[in-house]
Structure 1
């Protein structure tokens, strides 16, 4: 069969490019954060919020949106479990910060229907975690600070804590 395919390609004068050859594999390879680095990011985000006087919950998900770590400060509200997860999930699912998605899905925008998806939460505080090559390796969501922008600041500090480790 392989000889037939190779002969057919040769007969048509087509060459297999590296991208085409890559597409023939039945497997996809990607990287995700280890639980240790997911925890390091979550702890750094929590500590930054705590130092600023905010009681929050922090979730780190893998690139597929599966939770890896959740931590909650002792006085954070019960809602932070769900909202931190949904923010992290939304960031990796849509490939955009949840603050940017909130703007893009305002009422009247063509993408406003995204707000009706069950898990999506277009509310600031969710960010993608990218490796040095730009590939998404996870997402982080923070909930409980006085505003979505402050949640996002805490999430950024979590990413900064592992930035050097995932740069290479």
Structure 2
């Protein structure tokens, strides 16, 4: 009996990998289409304009790569890199930058993230999720304060929410 069980186990172990195991080698993920990313940037910029703010808006994909960048004509030159940095930071840490600002105050364990290259720990970077998946982030710079930048970003996301709920 033991020999028979040993032979059966050896035969099973020598079979090629199943299709299910092969499929685990590939990853499927959701991502913003260029059209939806552009709609998000436009909606965010429009909300800021309605509030009287001249801003730059950056949309990054789930990997932090910029998909769309819009800058209002009177937004300061620093707003482009700041908006991009906020979006990149939010998606990289999977956390809105306002929350990161609170979590990384001097003297806390997370304070070091403020010194990481490319990190912009100022309010205005907001993650974008769809169907439970992180699909990107919005960064806004130029409004009078990170809270106003964040409000525009959240309004932009709300404006296209129906396109994200798939």
TM-score by length of 1: 0.86
Cα distance in structure 2, aligned partners of 1:57 and 1:164: 24
Cα distance in structure 1, aligned partners of 2:153 and 2:76: 18
Listed one character per residue, the Cα deviations across residues 80-126 of structure 1 (whole Å, up to 9, x for unaligned) are 11000000001110010000000000000101100010111111000
Offset at residue 7 of structure 1 (A): 2.6
Cα distance in structure 2, aligned partners of 1:90 and 1:22: 34
1:98-109 aligned at under 5 Å gives the runs: 98-109=97-108
**Residue number among 3, 7, 11 corresponding to 2:12 in the alignment:** 7
Cα distance change of structure 1 residues 54 and 25 upon mapping to structure 2, 3 Å threshold? same
Aligned to 1:163: 161
Structure number with bigger Rg? 2
Aligned to 2:96: 97
Figure out how many residues of one structure are paired with residues of the other and give that number: 155
Cα distance in structure 2, aligned partners of 1:57 and 1:64: 20
Cα distance in structure 1, aligned partners of 2:94 and 2:10: 37
- Cα RMSD, aligned residues only: 2.2
Aligned to 2:66: 67
Offset at residue 55 of structure 1 (A): 0.2
Greater per-residue helix proportion: 2
Aligned to 1:18: none
Offset at residue 25 of structure 1 (A): 2.1
Cα distance change of structure 1 residues 75 and 26 upon mapping to structure 2, 3 Å threshold? same
Cα distance change of structure 1 residues 104 and 35 upon mapping to structure 2, 3 Å threshold? same
Cα distance change of structure 1 residues 22 and 154 upon mapping to structure 2, 3 Å threshold? farther
Cα distance change of structure 1 residues 160 and 23 upon mapping to structure 2, 3 Å threshold? farther
Cα distance in structure 1, aligned partners of 2:35 and 2:10: 46
Cα distance in structure 2, aligned partners of 1:160 and 1:40: 11
Cα distance change of structure 1 residues 23 and 118 upon mapping to structure 2, 3 Å threshold? farther
